Structure 1
Amino acid sequence: MIPAVVRPVQLALYQGVADPPAPRSRRLTVRLPRRLAVVPTSRLDLVQAADALLAAIAFLTTLSQVSDWNVKAVSPVSEGFSLLMAVGVALPLALRDRWPLAAWRTGFLMLPIGVWVTSSIGVRPADAPYTFLMVLSCLLVSYSAAVRCERRITVAIWVLSVLTAWIIHPNSMPVAAVMVTVAVLFGYNVRVRRTATAQLVVEEQRTQEAVGAQAVLEERARIARELHDVVAHHMSVIAIQAEAVPLKAAGDPAQLEAGLADIRGLSLDAIAQLRQVLGVLRDQDGRTDTAPLPGLDRVEELIANARATGLTVLVKRPTSLEGLAPALGLSAYRIVQESLSNAMRHAPGATVVVDIGRDDGGLRLHITNGPGLAPAGPRGAGQGLVGMRERAALLGGTLDAGPVPVGGFQVTATLPVDATTERGSG
């Protein structure tokens, strides 16, 4: 119990350290003239300048006041004690901005000298051994210490100040206690508000960093999804055609040349789409010129590529799909592309039905493939299905995918068509 009481007193008197000063507003500083500046960018702190001016006024006024008292006093004090009293009043005012706790300690230790001087001369201003400047100096340094010191030190400063006032002059102790309490509470309130503001700034910075990190992750996921869709589809078609072309040509140079030309065309298309996806990464403002994003108007190309690998593809689609926003068309295109790629890898030679419909509820995609006619390729990591679900979810739609009881696989997606998805349709 005793250490808990003594520790704050030790911190207040000699062990504690005040917090560093808060950043000063530039409105409270002025640039010094070049002939007065130590360095070209020197600025004058108006708060510190005001404290220095107040300290100088308090020092000179106290010296003058004690000198006047000595003229009328029966037993005047020496000039040395007059000087010490003036220093005890002025020095805390000069120190309170840079070193508030040191300023309070200086005033606290020098207070007995001032009280002794007023008592020895026989002058008791306002029936108490304190001058107005002594009271002002004490209140200002107590406020500054409360602003910059932790709560334990602030409480100890208040207790020591009130006890000292009671010991020196019990009759004026209630008024002194009220004045010190107001100064300390006002300073502590300022400290609490500054601390809360600083914490709020830190939390806002953390929130902004978290939002930025989330945006980076979402952009990475988007790019990875696009790359997966482009690479998976084209590489699957190229790999299958590279295996099937020699068998289909059966030594016919014309068919072999035509098959290789198809593979070359697919490769160039894959490279073009990769450049389109990665182009934005080469320009921080996203102004890289790219070709229009693919949409459902290019679904026939996907079907032609799938048929070239041996799939039998049946298509059902509306006569017109105009008016779809680019984002909606791209997502639908990628879902069809990934579904056909999965059928090429896992059900070679199968029959695939691509059903594209549109009604008031949105755009409907239904892609079903039967069992393959050849051994399936190795199973992937499932990122294609994850990417399709993410595309649908980003547009507020749904996507279901799973095996068909009679054999095969199906993908069903519903993408809403509303004012949001249609605003870029023109």
Structure 2
Amino acid sequence: MISVQRARDLGRRLSGRRWGRRDGRLAKAGRAVMRPFGLALFQGDADPPPASRRPTFRVPRRLAVLLPSQTFDLVQVAELALSLILFGTTQGMLTEAIAAHTEGYPVPEWIAYLAGLAVALPLVLRDRWPLAAWRVAIVQTPLTIWAAITLDLVDPPYSAQLSVMYLMVLYSVAVRCDKQITLAVWIITVLTVWIADPNSMALVAVMASVVVLFGYNVRTRRAATARLVEEERRTQVAESAQAVLAERARIARELHDVVAHHMSVIAIQAEAVPLKAAGDPAQLEAGLAEIRGLSLAAIAELRQVLGVLRDQDGRTDTAPQPGLDRLDELVVNARAAGLAVVVERDGPLDGLPPAVGLSAYRIVQESLSNAMRHAPGAAVAVSVAWDDGELRLRVANGPGTAPGDAPGAGQGLVGMRERATLLGGTLEAGPLPGGGFDVRATLPIADAMTEEGA
């Protein structure tokens, strides 16, 4: 049996282990509770300013030479103006109070300027560094209240200027910081004001709570919007990638159908011709001619597969393939649909290789179709130039005169890029700064002519 002393020692060890584990959990919980306060006061940082567009205005060039920039953010300009107003009103109010303060310790006038700067500085900082602005405010606010009470300069000790500044800074913190830091900022703010002036704690707590909750709601909505935008972007990327994979799979199937059939027949004929000829030159020549015919047919069908892509509605062209010789038909149809199309030609376009002419025709056709759908009634400029061994296309449309369809998944652009890539060319497409869309393509002609002549 275990002795009484050994039982006591075992009990002490087990109790010590339990208390050690409990102390470790308490220390970990304490660190988790205090961490947001440390981030709020010292180490934390806010999210970067939102990427959403804010209103701006441009200064005339004659005045811009005196300014650092010609374009200014209206929000920042408004904050700077409000900072100057708060500085001026705070300084003026305290200057009058100091002049009327005749009892006790004399107060120098520069205190009024320092207080005005302390009230205005957080507003200057809050757009880019909201936590830094709050730290400045949390340091100077109790000092300002204490000085006002001690020197009996202002009654009540917190002014309207100080309240406006603090509420705006709290709003920025709630919008740009996570909820743990925002909660710590709210607690520190209320406690700081309570220590400096207990009578104003209830009012400050209510006002700070309203502003923080409103800012947190704005942050939540922005985060949800950002997630939706990111999901939409990923969906579009996935759809574009899927369209490319589907197009490659279709081309692979067609290549297999064309090449495998003809190559199999050619291989069989190549083995059978020597046996059938049996030294007869006429039969040997006929067999070789048949192999040559099969080879030419395979090359022709292979070129057709590489040049013909599926239309956007899923149908495959079976009619004779068009070229830039039918560009006027596209223009007439586009004008009939309401587009103001202007065409500029540079260089002869009647001698283009069929593959280049087909791809150029389809690119112009798709660009005009996009303009019809997304910018009805827009002005469209079509430019076609052939020089230096390459064909350059550009289709640029301005903003539409009526609302258009919503942007699609971009499969039409994927198809145009595939057409250009198959010929060894390039295609660039994107929105124009003033509205509208621009498509530029470069298709090499010399390579296509060399391949057709081979």
TM-score (norm: length of structure 2): 0.59
SS at match of 1:30: strand
- How far apart, CA to CA, are the structure 2 residues paired with 1:232 and 1:196? 52
Output aligned runs, 1:399-414, within 5 Å.
Answer: none
Deviations 1:174-223 (A, max 9, x none): 11101001111111111111122112211111111111111111111111
- Are 1:232 and 2:260 counterparts? yes
Aligned to 1:213: 241
- Are 1:77 and 2:107 counterparts? yes
- How far apart, CA to CA, are the structure 2 residues paired with 1:105 and 1:21? 18
CA contact (8 A) 1:8 1:152 kept: yes
Deviations 1:32-51 (A, max 9, x none): 33342578964111111111
Structure 1: gaps of 5 or more residues = 282-288, 294-426
- How far apart, CA to CA, are the structure 2 residues paired with 1:292 and 1:225? 22
1:32 to 28, 51, 59: 59
More displaced 10-residue stretch of structure 1: 249-258 or 200-209: 249-258
- How far apart, CA to CA, are the structure 2 residues paired with 1:32 and 1:216? 46
Aligned to 1:200: 228
Give the residue type in structure 1 aligned to 2:304. Q
CA contact (8 A) 2:145 2:197 kept: no
- How far apart, CA to CA, are the structure 1 residues paired with 2:59 and 2:31? 50
- How far apart, CA to CA, are the structure 1 residues paired with 2:68 and 2:95? 43
CA RMSD between the two structures: 2.3
How many residue pairs get matched?
283
1:7 to 35, 40, 46: 35
- Are 1:65 and 2:93 counterparts? yes
Aligned to 1:169: 197
- Are 1:159 and 2:187 counterparts? yes
CA contact (8 A) 1:81 1:117 kept: no
TM-score (norm: length of structure 1): 0.62
CA contact (8 A) 1:19 1:149 kept: yes
Aligned to 2:177: 149
CA contact (8 A) 1:12 1:157 kept: yes
Give the residue type in structure 2 aligned to 1:175. L
- How far apart, CA to CA, are the structure 2 residues paired with 1:162 and 1:40? 40
Deviations 1:390-419 (A, max 9, x none): xxxxxxxxxxxxxxxxxxxxxxxxxxxxxx
- How far apart, CA to CA, are the structure 1 residues paired with 2:145 and 2:88? 18
More displaced 10-residue stretch of structure 1: 92-101 or 248-257: 248-257
- Are 1:278 and 2:315 counterparts? no
2:250 to 212, 222, 225: 222
- How far apart, CA to CA, are the structure 2 residues paired with 1:131 and 1:70? 15
Aligned to 1:335: none
The percent of aligned pairs where both chains have the same amino acid is 59
Aligned to 2:385: none
2:129 to 99, 105, 121: 99
Give the residue type in structure 2 aligned to 1:78. P
- How far apart, CA to CA, are the structure 1 residues paired with 2:48 and 2:223? 13
Residue 23 (structure 1) shift: 2.2
Residue 20 (structure 1) shift: 1.1
Give the residue type in structure 2 aligned to 1:144. S
Give the residue type in structure 2 aligned to 1:30. F
Aligned to 2:119: 89
Give the residue type in structure 2 aligned to 1:29. T
SS at match of 2:57: strand
- Are 1:185 and 2:216 counterparts? no
